[in-house]
Every structure is written in C-alpha cells, then in structure tokens.
Amino acid sequence: MMWDALRLADRVAVHFGWDFTQRRAPLPKDLSLPGWFAGSQARLLDLANQHAKDSQEVQRILALLK
C-alpha cells in the first residue's frame, strides 16, 4: 500500500507540474487506482490539493527549516 501511495503521489506531483525537473504529464485516463483507494481520479486530485499545494503546509515547513 505504501508503494501504491508513493507512486500515485509521485504521478500527481508530475501532473501538477510540481516535479523537480518541471516536467508535466497529465494523469493517464486509464490510470488504475488501487482497490483500497475509495474514489476516482478527481478525488485523488482533490486530495492532492488538500494535502499539498493549497494547504500551504509545505511552504510552512520550508520556512521553518530555513
């Protein structure tokens, strides 16, 4: 499950253009979500926004670590 979660999160980061190399690739329409993930791609992207970009938690951590 950890492997699935990390790979999904990795792909979402690329999808949003957050990737380190600034590559950007849309999530494939046929992206298979693991069975334990209750929801659609849209929910995955919502969760991603909630837990990363929009939450500003990342920026807060970076500021604290300066």
Partner 1 sequence: MRDVVRLCELDLSLVARVLSLVNSNLLGCRRPIKSLLQAMVILGVNRVRNFALISYRTDRFDRLPDAFPLKRFWSRSFSTAFISRGIVPDESGVVHEDVFLAGTLHDMGIAFLCEIFPDEYPYILARASREDVPLHELEQEAIGVQHAEIAAHVCEGWRIPEGVANVIRVHHGDTPPRGSRRRSG
Q: How many positions of this chain bind partner 1 (CB under 8 A)?
A: 40
Rounded Cα distance between 48 and 14, Å, is: 12
Tokens standing for 45? 């992207």
Residue with tokens 């849309």: 26
Q: Is 58 in the site for partner 1 (CB under 8 A)?
A: yes
Shortest distance, position 30 Cβ to partner 1, whole Å: 15
Tokens standing for 66? 């300066």
Q: Which residues would be at the binding site for partner 1 (CB under 8 A)?
A: 1-10, 12-13, 18-23, 25, 34-38, 44, 47-48, 50-53, 55, 57-62, 64-65
